[in-house]
């Protein structure tokens, strides 16, 4: 850390607060630097290509012009945005071995991660509602899930969290950071930043819990209710083939929900004294990078319609 004599020279902080942070990332394993760089670059490119293919085939294949695949294409685009808010910065830090990030850049990154994470929670809830209507009320599905309703649901998912997360980001960065400026994380997240703040942060921690309940727990409960009714309806089907087909249309989405909500809820709702910085970083790695990489695989391998559309696309590309 700079000495008192360096403060006036660097201009990066004064006696009350820091204006620049250092993201430690994976600096504790420098011998794995290039291996991690290669792994995360490969994961990032895989996420871009696989989700890009899903968007392409859901937009061009006539058989996939349904609400379910409309929501899936939005979800794929969201995943691209979500990982882009963290991975490029992390790759840059691994390449340069410099984790310096200004307070404004840190706040911008946090705001994007929070907004996109909240959008993912809401969009997963919308997708669960879509499956509920399709299975529990199939005769009214075309009327209930018409194009206008689908557009409204997607728009609400994208914009609902923006004012809340901007307000929360402003609240976090209104604090004074007068201790260490080293963030033991690979991106600017709330838990590690609160550990660096001076003074009483009770109100900020309470706000984190409230927002987490609104954007994580309530949507998760709605998804559980939807799937409770879906499973009840499926079990009433007389045909074993019909039950299998109904379950197959929901299994991919349910898998993604469990993976994403499981890690996100532990990160933001678990009492912080019981969560080490290493565990917090590992959990964040799961829901910000690894799960988005798995999602296209989960949706394509268990979905016959997408596999058929992918085969059609590949056949057209062959010389």
Helices (H), the chain: 4-10, 33-60, 67-84, 87-96, 103-136, 141-144, 147-159, 161-173, 190-194, 202-212, 218-235, 240-269, 277-285, 291-301, 304-317
- Tell me, yes or no, whether 161 lies in a domain: yes
- Tell me, yes or no, whether 4 lies in a domain: no
The answer for 94, left when phi > 0, alpha when psi is -120 to 50, beta otherwise, is: alpha
- Tell me, yes or no, whether 9 lies in a domain: no
Give the mean model confidence (pLDDT) for residues 39-67.
Answer: 93
- pTM higher than the cut 0.75: yes
Residue 16's pLDDT is 42
- Tell me, yes or no, whether 134 lies in a domain: yes
pLDDT > 70 fraction of the chain, expressed in percent and rounded: 90
CA distance 274 to 280: 10
- The 3-state DSSP class for residue 20 equals strand
- Tell me, yes or no, whether 69 lies in a domain: yes
CATH number of the domain bearing residue 81: 1.20.1070.10
pLDDT at 232 > cutoff 80: yes
Cβ–Cβ under 8 Å, residues 267 and 191: yes
- Tell me, yes or no, whether 148 lies in a domain: yes
Residue 274's pLDDT is 47
What are the two backbone dihedrals, phi and then psi, of residue 102, each rounded to the nearest 5 degrees?
Answer: -70, 160
Residue 6's pLDDT is 42
Name the pLDDT band for 270 (thresholds 50, 70, 90).
Answer: low
Condensed to tens digits (0 to 9), the pLDDT of residues 170-202 reads 999 988 887 788 998 999 998 889 888 888 888
Condensed to tens digits (0 to 9), the pLDDT of residues 89-119 reads 999 999 988 889 999 999 999 999 999 999 9
Residue 9's pLDDT is 38
Closest CA to 14 of 137, 176, 249: 176
- The 3-state DSSP class for residue 25 equals coil
Cβ–Cβ under 8 Å, residues 24 and 182: yes
Lowest mean pLDDT among 80-94, 197-211, 213-227, 228-242: 228-242
Range(s) of the domain holding residue 226: 18-317
- Tell me, yes or no, whether 191 lies in a domain: yes
pLDDT at 85 > cutoff 90: yes
Domain count along the chain: 1
- Tell me, yes or no, whether 1 lies in a domain: no
Sole residue written with tokens 């080293």: 182
């Amino acid at each position: 850390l700079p000495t008192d004599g360096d403060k006036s020279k660097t201009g990066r902080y004064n006696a009350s607060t820091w204006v620049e942070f250092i993201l430690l990332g994976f600096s504790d394993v420098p011998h794995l630097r290039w291996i991690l760089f290669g792994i995360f670059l490969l994961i990032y490119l895989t996420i871009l290509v696989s989700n890009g293919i899903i968007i392409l085939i859901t937009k061009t294949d006539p058989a996939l012009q349904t609400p379910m695949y409309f929501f899936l294409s939005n979800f794929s685009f969201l995943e691209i945005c979500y990982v882009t808010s963290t991975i490029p910065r992390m790759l840059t830090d691994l390449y340069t071995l410099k984790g310096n990030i200004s307070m404004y850049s840190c706040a911008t990154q946090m705001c994007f991660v929070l907004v996109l994470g909240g959008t993912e929670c809401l969009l997963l809830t919308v997708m669960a509602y879509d499956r509920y209507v399709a299975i529990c009320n199939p005769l009214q599905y075309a009327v209930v899930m018409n194009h206008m309703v689908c557009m409204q649901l997607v728009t609400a998912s994208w914009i609902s969290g923006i004012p809340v997360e901007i307000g929360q980001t402003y609240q976090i960065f209104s604090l004074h950071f007068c201790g260490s400026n080293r963030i033991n994380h690979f991106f600017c997240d709330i838990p590690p930043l609160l550990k660096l703040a001076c003074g009483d942060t009770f109100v900020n921690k309470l706000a984190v819990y409230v927002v987490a309940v609104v954007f994580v727990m309530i949507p998760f409960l709605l998804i559980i209710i939807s799937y409770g009714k879906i499973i009840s309806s499926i079990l009433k089907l007389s045909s074993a083939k019909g039950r299998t087909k109904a379950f197959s249309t929901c299994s991919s989405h349910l898998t993604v929900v469990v993976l994403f909500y499981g890690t996100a809820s532990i990160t933001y709702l678990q009492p912080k004294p019981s969560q080490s910085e290493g565990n917090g970083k590992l959990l964040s790695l799961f829901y910000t990078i690894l799960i988005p990489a798995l999602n296209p695989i989960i949706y394509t391998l268990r979905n016959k319609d997408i596999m058929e559309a992918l085969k059609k696309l590949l056949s057209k590309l062959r010389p």
